[in-house]
Amino acid sequence: FSREFLAESRSAFGEHILSGDIANAGALIVSILPGGAESAPLWGG
């Protein structure tokens, strides 16, 4: 991943956490992990 992509993901993750949107924060994490789409149901996505 590019440094810019990681920085954007990190700030988006922080915004989700601050707004209490844990499901979206979790979905963001799995979306950037290898095979993330297959893991999405674990996060309720």
Whole-structure pTM value: 0.43
- State which residues form the domain around 14: 3-43
Taking residues 14-27, what's their average pLDDT? Answer: 83
The pLDDT value given to residue 45: 45
Using an 8 Å Cβ cutoff, are 22 and 34 in contact?
Answer: no
Q: How many domains does the chain have?
A: 1
Question: How far, in Å, CA of 24 to CA of 1, rounded?
Answer: 20
Share of the chain above pLDDT 90, in %: 0
Pairwise CA distance, residues 9 & 5, whole Å: 6
